[in-house]
Amino acid sequence: MTRAVLDTNILISAILFKGIPGRLFELAIAGSFRAVTSPTLLDELDEKLRGKFQLPTADTIVSGDRHLLKLGSYDGIQILTVRQFMDKIDPAT
């Protein structure tokens, strides 16, 4: 399978603005290719999203993993199911 590193600018565009980078990200999620990254790139992404784009620090882990859900939290970060998280952010769902 083809592997590709999506640099920080591509990931930011995919997350915030969709377009072609968003479609590329969707293809990675669908398994059309394997997106790979590194701790350095993830740190840069976090820095840019919180700094330049003023997105809040992630305070929730959304998971379907029963082992994680039993913990309830990890390192002070709340662990919720998809349904619990959706109810939290969009009670109309």
> For 17-71, what is each residue's pLDDT tens digit?
889 999 999 999 999 999 998 989 988 988 888 888 777 667 888 888 888 889 9
What six digits make up the tokens of 89?
Answer: 């952010």
Asked whether the predicted pLDDT for residue 93 surpasses 70, the reply is no
Q: Three-state DSSP class for 90?
A: coil
Q: What is the pLDDT of residue 52?
A: 85
Going from N- to C-terminal start, the domains of the chain cover: 3-50, 60-89
Interatomic CA distance for residues 41 and 91, integer angstroms: 34
Sign of the torsion formed by the C-alpha atoms of 62, 68, 72 and 73: negative
Residue in the structure block whose two tokens are 């350095």: 40
